[in-house]
Structures are given as C-alpha cells and as structure tokens.
Amino acid sequence: MKLHEYQAKALLAGFGVRTLPGEAASTPQEARAAAERLGAELVVVKAQIHAGGRGKGRFVEDVDAGEIAKAAKGEDAAGKGGVRLAWSADEAEAAAAAMLGKTLVTKQTGLEGRQVRTVFVTEGCDIATEFYLSVMLDRSTNRVLFLGSAEGGVDIEETAHDNPDAIFRVEVDSAVGMTDFQARAIGRSLGLTGKTLTKSVGFFRALYEGYMGLDCSMLEINPLVLTKQGELIALDCKMDTDGNALYRHPAVAELRDLHEEEATEIEASEHGLSFIKLDGTIGCMVNGAGLAMATMDIIQFKGASPANFLDVGGGAQQSQVEAAFRIITKDPNVKGILVNIFGGIMKCDVIAQGVIGAVKEVGLQVPLVVRLSGTNADLGKKILAESGLAVIPASNLDEAADKIVAAVQGA
Ligand code: GDP
Ligand code: MN
C-alpha cells in the first residue's frame, strides 16, 4: 500500500528519522493557517499524490499540451510544478490554491495526471547537498538493500544509465540488524566526513528501523539533504508497505487513500477478488494465482497481452464471479475475455452460472472463450451450451489462448 509523503514522514519520524515539521491541508485557508503555525521564514507547499517528480510536473488546467508533454518527460517546470517555495503565509495560501483540485502531470503519472486533494505545508531548509537513498528487499540475497548515490535530487534512473558507478549498495542481514559499520559505509559512500558522518549513523539506523518496523516494501528518500547547518534531513519520501502485513499495522491501514487507487481494483477488493489492472486487450478470469500467471504468460506468448490479472480464488460464490465479470467488461481496452478455470474446490458449474448471470446483467460485446476443466466441468459446459450465449468453448489452455488471441486479432 502506497502512502503519501506527509504520512510516510510522520511514520518515519516516529522511528527517529529526522524530517521537517509540517501539516497536511485540503484548502488554501488551511494551508495559510498551517504556514502561520509553522512560523518558519520559508515554507514549502507540496502536492500530495502517489507519484514522484512533482517539482517538475505541470497542472493540466494551467498549461498547453506541449507543456504537459514536457512535464511527462520531467523537464524543469520553472515554478509551475507541484513543489513551491513560499516566503509568507500569503504565498503559502496562493501556492495551495494553485494546486488544490487541479490535475498534476509528472514523469510518473502518465499524461492523464492525478488530482491534487491535499497539499503538505512544511518548513523549508537551506540545502547544501542533495543525495539519493532508497531501501528495498533484495530477493536474490534475501537482504535489505540500501541503494544510494551522492548525486541526489536527479533521476536515479538517469544516474543508473549514464553513470552506474555513482550508485552504491549496502546490504543488511535482517537477522543481525544494521550495524554501525554498515551505517558508516552508507555515510562514507555519500561523501560524509567527520562529525556529520558520525551523526549520520543514527539517521541510517532509524531509517532501517522504520523500514522494518512498518513492513515496508520500498522506501525512497530523494532527496536526502545535508543542510548548510550540517544536518541530515529526509526532504522527500516515497513509501510502499507490504499489503499482506497491514493487519499488523491498523493505524497504517487507515492511511489508505482510495482516490489514488484504480476504481476497479477497489471494487474487486470489496468482493474479495485479487485483481490488478494491466494495459492489454484480453480480460482474464482465472481461479488460483499460479494459473492466472500462467494464463497471462500464454496470452503474451501467443502474441497478445492481458488486460488484467484476476484470481477469483478457490471457493468463489456466483456473486463474486458476476462481480469479476462486471469489472473485466468495464475496461474499454478489453477486446476479448478468457475464462480459464481448473475446478478443484471451485466448481465449474458455479463459474458457468456466474458468467451467465453477469452477461445477462451487463451484456456481452466481445468474444468470450471459456475453458473449464476439473470438478463439474461437464455440467458447466452443458449450462453454457444451453444458455444461448455466444461462448467459444475450449478444451485446454493452449487451445483457449489460440482462440481468444485469434478472436481479438480478427476483430
Ligand atoms: P518530487 O519532485 O516529487 O520528487 O518532490 P521533492 O520533495 O523531491 O522536491 C523536489 C525538489 O524541490 C527537491 O529536490 C528540492 O530541490 C526542492 N525542495 C524541496 N523542499 C525544499 C526546501 O525545503 N528548500 C529548498 N530550498 N528546496 C526544496
Ligand atoms: Mn523527490
């Protein structure tokens, strides 16, 4: 589950990571009041969306298509972006008014952008140096990986491409925890020396504790800054936490922002379905995550691409199957649907009834290939055959994939 910058910073501060004080605001008046309470000489007003590159973004309402294309490429926004400095409460209010309710396009949002509903009004600082630092799980070593670069503030992908030697890695064994030695290695790699290096040990250890303690799957501090006063501060923060661990963090679960998620994914989770929207043309309804992956693979192998991942689970009810079908057909990119069921606990006749119920409700505008195998497969096939629906039957996955790809590409 992704978090907003202001939420992530508040959580990390609880682990002792140094951040700057600030408040979230959803109206320009609230932003003004927040700036007044902060009482800082400089405040920064930052659009809160689940995407980075805000500083170099543009607002759809303010600029023409050429400028939006520049925003999507990450070209400098010259004061028009989603991160603005304000030297008074008046300016903070104006900056918030210039962002709230508008649609921000950045390198990470795609051209459609994201609506800004909240801004973070936070104390500014005097930046001496900007660094890049991220924390993630390295699946090949099963260790917590700190990836950093002394060349911060810029796009890490660019650094990785143009100057890969500028990126360093420090791995931490979670059974041992982060040692002072490892923390110092990070600090040294960033070019810190003397007292600043010594002080940085506490910062990196706190970051590690936060990453572990919150069950993060990704944590990115870009930039991590060294101020002119010699302090290390997390100036920006992107955090993604493991959705499967949310039961351990009810307070974090409450921070979920449904506005930032795909409407269809929310609807799917309400019905207990695992659904992830993708950008292909073949909608998939499958039982079991492994079979769903195999189905996506074979579609790709046959030269088309899946419109979604969907696992209806082992013991889905007819109503869930109907919901799944509704969700798939809502996507305008879907040019064909492949139902691939291997009945075990799941009974094929339940799937057949669900498909018929859903088609009666939402109609069927695209070719539908159904492969049923296992428990009650014959009954399921019979139900579909007698339904009068234009279902294309298939007897195995290979044939099913051939048929749906042919149907979609012929269309
Ligand atoms: P992003 O564009 O979404 O990654 O947002 P960031 O929080 O990283 O902000 C973008 C840039 O704005 C940073 O790299 C900084 O250069 C600048 N910035 C953010 N906060 C401050 C601040 O307090 N003082 C100054 N001088 N610059 C800031
Ligand atoms: Mn950033």
Catalytically annotated residue among 6, 30, 132, 151: 132
CA-5 nearest atom, ligand 1: 7
pLDDT band at 39 (very low <50, low <70, confident <90, very high): very high
399 is catalytic: no
pLDDT band at 411 (very low <50, low <70, confident <90, very high): low
208 is catalytic: no
> What local confidence, expressed as pLDDT, does residue 361 receive?
86
Q: What are the backbone dihedrals phi and psi of residue 197, each rounded to the nearest 5 degrees, phi first?
A: -60, -45
Question: Domain 21-123: which CATH class?
Answer: alpha beta
Reported for 27-31, long-range contacts at CB under 8 A and 24+ positions apart, including other chains, are 27/96, 27/100, 28/93, 28/94, 28/96, 28/97, 28/100, 29/93, 30/96, 31/92, 31/93, 31/95, 31/96, 31/97, 31/119, 31/121
Q: Which of 313, 328, 219 has the alpha carbon at shortest distance from 283?
A: 328
Q: Tell whether ligand 1 has an atom less than 6 A from the beta carbon of residue 124.
A: yes
Least confident segment among 155-159, 236-240, 399-403: 155-159
Rounded CA-CA distance 96/237 in Å is 20
Token pair recorded at residue 259: 């506005």
Distance 186 CA to ligand 1 centre (A): 22
Distance 182 CA to ligand 2 centre (A): 24
Mutate to test the pocket of ligand 1, among 3, 9, 20, 44 (most ligand atoms within 8 A of CB): 44
DSSP 145: E
Peptide bond into 332 cis (omega under 30): no
* β-bridge pairing 232-234 and 274-277: unpaired
Q: Tell whether ligand 1 has an atom less than 6 A from the beta carbon of residue 152.
A: no
Rounded CA-CA distance 60/374 in Å is 52
pLDDT higher at 155 or 179:
179
Catalytically annotated residue among 30, 93, 151, 220: 220
Q: Tell whether ligand 1 has an atom less than 6 A from the beta carbon of residue 44.
A: yes
Kindly report the average pLDDT of the chain as a whole number: 94
Q: Tell whether ligand 1 has an atom less than 6 A from the beta carbon of residue 55.
A: yes
Distance 197 CA to ligand 1 centre (A): 23
Instruction: Indicate if the pLDDT at residue 32 is higher than 70.
Output: yes
Q: Tell whether ligand 1 has an atom less than 6 A from the beta carbon of residue 54.
A: yes
Q: What are the backbone dihedrals phi and psi of residue 46, each rounded to the nearest 5 degrees, phi first?
A: -125, 125
Dump pLDDT digits (tens) for 169-179.
999 999 999 99
Secondary structure in 3-state letters for 5-31: HHHHHHHHHCCCCCCCCEEEECCHHHH
> What local confidence, expressed as pLDDT, does residue 102 receive?
97
The stretch 155-172 carries a mean pLDDT of 90
The fold of the 262-410 domain, in CATH, is Rossmann fold (3.40.50)
Task: Write the DSSP string, 196-221.
Answer: HHHHHHHHHHHHHHHHHHTTEEEEEE
Count Cβ atoms below 10 Å from residue 211 Cβ, excluding itself. 27
Instruction: Indicate if the pLDDT at residue 189 is higher than 80.
Output: yes
Mutate to test the pocket of ligand 1, among 19, 73, 127 (most ligand atoms within 8 A of CB): 127
> What local confidence, expressed as pLDDT, does residue 308 receive?
96
CATH of the domain spanning 127-252, picked from 3.40.50.510, 1.10.240.10, 3.30.470.20, 3.30.420.40: 3.30.470.20
Q: Tell whether ligand 1 has an atom less than 6 A from the beta carbon of residue 223.
A: yes
Dump pLDDT digits (tens) for 324-367.
999 999 999 999 999 999 988 888 999 899 889 988 888 889 99
Rounded CA-CA distance 399/384 in Å is 18
Rounded CA-CA distance 316/332 in Å is 25
Q: Whose CA is nearest to atom 28 of ligand 1?
A: 124
Rounded CA-CA distance 294/272 in Å is 21
Instruction: Indicate if the pLDDT at residue 18 is higher than 90.
Output: yes
Mutate to test the pocket of ligand 1, among 122, 225, 235 (most ligand atoms within 8 A of CB): 235
Instruction: Indicate if the pLDDT at residue 269 is higher than 70.
Output: yes
Largest Cα span, the chain: 80
| Alpha helices, DSSP H, located in 214-339 | 250-253, 263-270, 289-301, 318-330
Instruction: Indicate if the pLDDT at residue 222 is higher than 70.
Output: yes
All structural domains of the chain with their residue ranges: 21-123, 127-252, 262-410
Q: Which listed ligand is nearest to 49 at the C-alpha?
A: 1
Rounded CA-CA distance 367/405 in Å is 10
